[in-house]
Chains A and B, each alone.
Chain A
Amino acid sequence: GNSVTQMEGPVTLSEEAFLTINCTYTATGYPSLFWYVQYPGEGLQLLLKATKADDKGSNKGFEATYRKETTSFHLEKGSVQVSDSAVYFCALKTQGAQKLVFGQGTRLTINP
């Protein structure tokens, strides 16, 4: 079946460090891929998405590229801030499906 595997957390970085959170997937067909972010005490918000191979999603300094050959959608940011501390979820949706498939989430903490 379809699944998403994320880098295990928690991840702790210093402010202005480079961030990578790995995400790989298994799916039939050509899924759409997403990164959602959950700030403390809140629901999930869409951070970025990509709908086909080689697409790059970007938002708020975060980027992720849809790599079909490696079935990956790694999240990156060049210089993180304390305000980026949150839980990040990678997810996929296959064509025709009604549901998202989520990874287990990665907790990120940025220290000043």
Chain B
Amino acid sequence: EADIYQTPRYLVIGTGKKITLECSQTMGHDKMYWYQQDPGMELHLIHYSYGVNSTEKGDLSSESTVSRIRTEHFPLTLESARPSHTSQYLCASRPQGTDTQYFGPGTRLTVL
């Protein structure tokens, strides 16, 4: 069982603000992922990382950026939030040699 933490759990901000969504895991997993989940429930992969200093764009184009300076942390940043960024953001990680992804509780972002 992996422990994955996301903060904040809920965030309401105004248009134009810069925000960073935090994701951390304590199990030393190499692979980490960010998903955007729309109100219709569908999950869209927006970023992933194979390990430290590795980041890749996912299947859905996103204006967000990510970094992976340490194995444990995979923060997601929006330089200038817009109402179209309102969504739930889910972070996940996967250990080497397995297929199973472990998910954090998510951050629900509302941009006014």
Q: A43-B103, A49-B99, A51-B99 are in contact. Are A102 and B43 (CB under 8 A)?
A: yes
Asked if A100 and B101 sit within 8 Å, CB to CB, the answer is: yes
**Distance (Å) between the CB of B34 and the closest chain A CB?**
12
**Mask of A84-99 contacts with B, CB within 8 angstroms, 1/0:** 0001010001000011
Q: How far is the CA of A99 from the CA of B32 in the complex (A)?
A: 10
Number of A-B contacts (CB under 8 A): 48
Q: Interface code B33-54, partner A: CB below 8 Å = 1, 0 otherwise?
A: 1000000111101001010000
Number of interface residues of A (CB under 8 A): 22
Q: Given B33, B41, B106, which contacts A42 in the complex, CB threshold below 8 Å? A: B106
Any B CB within 8 A of the CB of A45: yes
Q: Contacts A51-B99, A98-B48 hold; do A43 and B42 have CB atoms under 8 A apart? A: no
User: A42-B105, A93-B99 in contact; A98/B50 too (CB < 8 A)?
Assistant: yes
Which of A51, A87, A98 is within 8 Å of B31, CB to CB?
A98
A44 at the interface (CB under 8 A from B): yes
Interface residues of A (CB under 8 A from B): 32, 34, 36, 38, 41-46, 49, 51, 87, 89, 93, 98-100, 102, 104-105, 107
